[in-house]
Amino acid sequence: NAGVMQNPRHLVRRRGQEARLRCSPMKGHSHVYWYRQLPEEGLKFMVYLQKENIIDESGMPKERFSAEFPKEGPSILRIQQVVRGDSAAYFCASSPSGTVSTGELFFGEGSRLTVL
Amino acid sequence: RKEVEQDPGPFNVPEGATVAFNCTYSNSASQSFFWYRQDCRKEPKLLMSVYSSGNEDGRFTAQLNRASQYISLLIRDSKLSDSATYLCVVNTPQGAQKLVFGQGTRLTINP
């Protein structure tokens, strides 16, 4: 039973390029969360999605960032015109339902973005 | 004020020692509380939930004080493998639920 799969694991981009990060949730999970972790900092919530719907994007910057979770295929976090400050680890997590009362989000291994 | 605040450490303790971490949260309406563990350059993983009455899982004890909005984690008889960053986590009580993570407390157990 595969866990949450993220790719690429490492991505290097130059300023101004686009970064596209993919996340396949665990089998049977229809809720996906994206978090960003800057060096030496905690995880910051970015966006919560269900299939074809953005439920909460309150943590996502208004410009350059977008996320989707299509009916078929992985969830994608897209960062346009990257800047050095976007360098971080981006973690995807999934859960089988929208309630987090059990606290268990299953995290992928993360995608580490480096912007040169 | 941060939603979840932790002392970032680092804590360096000898093997076998008892170590305690604290965490405070700002939203009094939060209902669910957790400790996650994150190893260096790895993903976070759930360590344990925190219940109002306090709960124990082997060498780990978690406590919650709702009046003070304070959560603690106690590790007894620490092992080298306990070295990690410990993340205090609280759910958001309104709207679409999500987990809010503290900055984390870095712990190193020394032989």
Q: How confident is the model at residue B95 (pLDDT cuts 50, 70, 90)?
A: low
Q: How confident is the model at residue B109 (pLDDT cuts 50, 70, 90)?
A: very high
Preceding omega of A96 cis (within 30 degrees of 0):
no
A116 to chain B, any CB pair closer than 8 A? The answer is: no
Contact A100, A35 (CB under 8 A): no
Q: What is the pLDDT of residues A86-96, one digit of tens each?
A: 999 999 999 88
| Cα gap A96→A87, rounded to integer Å | 30
Q: What is the pLDDT of residues B54-90, one digit of tens each?
A: 899 999 999 999 999 999 999 999 999 999 999 999 9
In this prediction, residue B74 carries a pLDDT of 97
Q: What is the mean pLDDT of chain A?
A: 92
A56 to chain B, any CB pair closer than 8 A? The answer is: yes
Q: Which two tokens stand for residue B14?
A: 């000898």
- Pairing state between β A10-13 and A111-115: parallel
Contact A42 B102 (CB under 8 A): yes
Q: Beta-strand (E) ranges in chain B?
A: 4-6, 11-14, 19-25, 33-38, 44-50, 55-57, 60-65, 70-75, 84-91, 99-101, 105-110
Nearest to A71 by CA among A95, A51, A93: A51
Q: What is the pLDDT of residues A23-32, one digit of tens each?
A: 999 998 889 9
- Residue entry with tokens 């669910």: B32
Q: Tell me the count of A-B CB pairs closer than 8 A.
A: 58
**pLDDT of A82 above 90:** yes
